[in-house]
Amino acid sequence: LSYTDTAENGWFDRFQTRLSFRQYTEERRRQSTGSTTFREERDEVNTIGLGADWKKSAGDHQLFTFGFDVNYDDVDSTRSDRDLGTGVVTPRDGQFAPDSEYTAIGVFLQDEIFAFDPFLLTAGLRYSYYDFSFTEFGGGMEESGDFDALTASIEASRRFGDWNFSAGLAQGFRAPNLDDLAKDGAFASGTELHNP
């Protein structure tokens, strides 16, 4: 769902907010060569997202964009092993640790500067915050933590005919995600282990 307001009211020239719900499901069925165990795994990720941004011009020379975005992930991961000889089904922890949750929050500001025409100068700042929690495999203790960073960027661009040339300098930040923090599973011919 999204809502956009373009009525000029002094506070902003354009406002947009977005609310979303996303669901991702992955299922795997595995049986190793020569094994009598048939494994069924299921990961379901439900994500709620909220974002908003405002645009405000400062005369003819600057356009400010500022806003925020929030995403919350709730992960349900299950596994069951069925002995094909006896038919006995044994429930086990899924690939992701029980009660896995992950929240990502960002606040940003961008300034587009037209005063140096024919050059366009764009500068930006973003504060990012990430929070996670889960229960260790096998009914262990609860793990939780957070990461944050303030990053910046600046770019200059100029159009020459049909071509647009730009040069920029930007700082990036990638927080560990739930794959890094709370997932144990097989991949290719190896095993992936979590590291909170």
- Beta carbons of 179 and 187 less than 8 angstroms apart: no
pTM of the model: 0.86
Q: What percent of the chain has pLDDT over 90?
A: 76
Tokens of 1: 């769902």
Read off the pLDDT of each residue in 7-25 and give the average, rounded to a whole number: 90
pLDDT number for residue 171: 94
Q: Tens of pLDDT along 71-86? A: 999 999 999 999 998 9
pLDDT number for residue 7: 77
What average pLDDT does the structure give for the chain? 93
Which run of H or E residues covers position 181? helix 178-182
Q: Tens of pLDDT along 28-69? A: 998 888 889 999 999 999 999 999 999 999 888 999 999 999
